[in-house]
Chain A
């Protein structure tokens, strides 16, 4: 299901792999025929456990091949984690791990397939670069960027990317691969990643009607934070809200809190799934139930805005 929803981006990824002669794509079984036609023997569709897939990938990478894997997040981050931490010298191996169906909205069938901890797990693997696109344009940009990273990359593909790209004032170029500001309000900073960027923009519009100008930062990489964009926004606004579709522990919010503590202490609130597991439900219902809708971002922004130093 997730492949269908993220289909265009995955097709783009297959094109990207096809352009690179040393690249190999590993997936679970059941790929579209067009992928087989495009990649031939460079597409390996096996459906053993994800641990075995990860071991195969690290073996291939050790032989000098550039390896791309497309696996649902709950299998890649949860099942293959142990193999990845043991078998890969992550700082050096050209592994590109693309997870689909990630986060709370990745699956409607409940907690076992809603991978909330993937950012925390992958972020803490030494040498891993974690990337989280927020729309189709950034997904394509970050896939191309991932191809040029010398070590391992974990790219968390949102399960649903809408056709409309986010409004960006700066181009998606090499200087922006860590993230970028989408607006530059002076009252509150909202840093978000993945599908939460759209909620942050919706919240910014509501806040603007209340006279609070928000600065929204689209964070592409929790491991390589766009420090300049974040700190310049926080210096201007004096407070920050983080929003992510994953667990609180080890996620984007903690990365930002660590940055603020060391560089520019300021009031901060994190919106994420707290100490709870996921459950069945439609995407928008889940976001609202777990306090991750644009309305919750507005509430947190007003709260933190009131806490800021005057």
Chain B
């Protein structure tokens, strides 16, 4: 799958993120920024079989940033874990898509949300459990986790070899945070990637890191793909009006978005 095809998929996923958050206040700019990474992971890096979503030998992703849940769900739906119609009922009573990621309700979700600062420890436990197998365990964290003591305590224990390292991906926005120095001082190897460069991400993530403590810092742009959302503080809660939603969808690239039938929402 080449970069162009991944870019097309990303636009489709972004379109779904905008639709599913219509008239609801969410950290939309941040969610849009993570779509390219998630598409790269789910289409080119992770070993998984959507026909057998619970196959034991699949790779896992622990989503440790609750602000990205819409992008996460939209990616999983587009990848085929569940029908896209479910996206429109996200967070409603009875929906299979809980407001925060919850592996008890949603196929394709590998770990629960709600405690971003503990995502690294959760992923480390999983990596320990799969240490003898071929499964890879990724952990995606955002700025919120970097501000917590629990994250750094876990990072220190991993860096000092006391715990097993998952493949840590840290999403940062527009150069606001530079965790490399601190991670390196704890024994982690670091690399900075462009979070919107499909080819670069694919090359960097293709190889398993053999349990060495590696962190990939992914530099992303808030509101990627929608001009009037760029420059927003990533975690800013944004509610798009109907008009803004139409503008956003047209900017994301109407041509790339296949003719969408009117999909009813479902649980």
Residues of A within 8 A of B (CB): 24, 44, 46, 48-49, 51-52, 55-65, 82-83, 86-89, 92
| Interface pick from B70-78, B149-157, B233-241 | B149-157
CB within 8 Å for A86 and B125 given contacts A46-B163, A64-B56: no
B121 lies within 8 A of chain A by Cβ: yes
Q: Closest A-chain residue to B123, C-beta based?
A: A59
0/1 per residue, B115-150, Cβ < 8 Å to A? 100110111111111100000000000000000001
| Residues on A with beta carbons closer than 8 Å to the beta carbon of B118 | 51-52, 55, 83, 86-87
Q: List 22 A-B contacts (CB under 8 A).
A: A44-B128, A46-B157, A48-B153, A49-B153, A52-B121, A55-B122, A55-B125, A56-B121, A56-B122, A57-B125, A59-B62, A59-B111, A59-B126, A60-B126, A60-B128, A63-B128, A63-B129, A65-B129, A86-B114, A86-B118, A87-B114, A89-B112
Q: Closest B-chain residue to A29, C-beta based?
A: B162
| Residues on A with beta carbons closer than 8 Å to the beta carbon of B123 | 59
Contact between chains at B129 and A46 (CB < 8 Å): no
Nearest CB of chain B from residue A31's CB, rounded to whole Å: 14
| Residues on A with beta carbons closer than 8 Å to the beta carbon of B163 | 44, 46, 56
Contact between chains at B129 and A62 (CB < 8 Å): yes
Q: Which residue, A55, A60, A87, has most C-beta atoms of chain B within 10 A? A: A55
B24 lies within 8 A of chain A by Cβ: no
Contact between chains at A48 and B125 (CB < 8 Å): no
Contact between chains at B122 and A87 (CB < 8 Å): yes
| Residues on B with beta carbons closer than 8 Å to the beta carbon of A56 | 121-122, 124-125, 128, 163
Nearest CB of chain A from residue B113's CB, rounded to whole Å: 8
| Residues on B with beta carbons closer than 8 Å to the beta carbon of A48 | 121, 150, 153-154, 157
| Residues on B with beta carbons closer than 8 Å to the beta carbon of A44 | 128, 163
Please report the C-alpha to C-alpha distance between residue A64 and residue B133 in the assembled complex, in whole angstroms: 12
| Residues on A with beta carbons closer than 8 Å to the beta carbon of B130 | 63
Contact between chains at A60 and B129 (CB < 8 Å): yes
CB within 8 Å for A59 and B115 given contacts A48-B157, A92-B104: no
| Residues on A with beta carbons closer than 8 Å to the beta carbon of B49 | none
| Residues on A with beta carbons closer than 8 Å to the beta carbon of B119 | 55
Nearest CB of chain B from residue A184's CB, rounded to whole Å: 43
0/1 per residue, B62-94, Cβ < 8 Å to A? 100000000000000000000000000000000
Contact between chains at B128 and A87 (CB < 8 Å): no
Please report the C-alpha to C-alpha distance between residue A24 and residue B150 in the assembled complex, in whole angstroms: 22
B59 lies within 8 A of chain A by Cβ: no
Contact between chains at A59 and B150 (CB < 8 Å): no
Contact between chains at B126 and A55 (CB < 8 Å): no
B103 lies within 8 A of chain A by Cβ: yes
Please report the C-alpha to C-alpha distance between residue A66 and residue B51 in the assembled complex, in whole angstroms: 27
Please report the C-alpha to C-alpha distance between residue A44 and residue B150 in the assembled complex, in whole angstroms: 18
Nearest CB of chain A from residue B88's CB, rounded to whole Å: 25
Q: Closest B-chain residue to A91, C-beta based?
A: B104
Contact between chains at B125 and A63 (CB < 8 Å): yes
Contact between chains at B104 and A59 (CB < 8 Å): no
Please report the C-alpha to C-alpha distance between residue A276 and residue B115 in the assembled complex, in whole angstroms: 31
CB within 8 Å for A62 and B126 given contacts A51-B118, A52-B118, A87-B112: yes
Please report the C-alpha to C-alpha distance between residue A60 and residue B166 in the assembled complex, in whole angstroms: 12
Nearest 3 A/B pairs, CB to CB: A59-B125, A63-B129, A55-B121
| Residues on A with beta carbons closer than 8 Å to the beta carbon of B122 | 55-56, 58-59, 62, 87
Please report the C-alpha to C-alpha distance between residue A57 and residue B104 in the assembled complex, in whole angstroms: 17
Contact between chains at B115 and A87 (CB < 8 Å): yes
Please report the C-alpha to C-alpha distance between residue A51 and residue B118 in the assembled complex, in whole angstroms: 8
Nearest CB of chain A from residue B154's CB, rounded to whole Å: 5
Please report the C-alpha to C-alpha distance between residue A116 and residue B62 in the assembled complex, in whole angstroms: 34
| Residues on A with beta carbons closer than 8 Å to the beta carbon of B111 | 59, 62, 87
Contact between chains at B112 and A59 (CB < 8 Å): no
| Residues on B with beta carbons closer than 8 Å to the beta carbon of A61 | 125
Please report the C-alpha to C-alpha distance between residue A44 and residue B157 in the assembled complex, in whole angstroms: 12
Contact between chains at B154 and A52 (CB < 8 Å): yes
Nearest CB of chain A from residue B58's CB, rounded to whole Å: 12
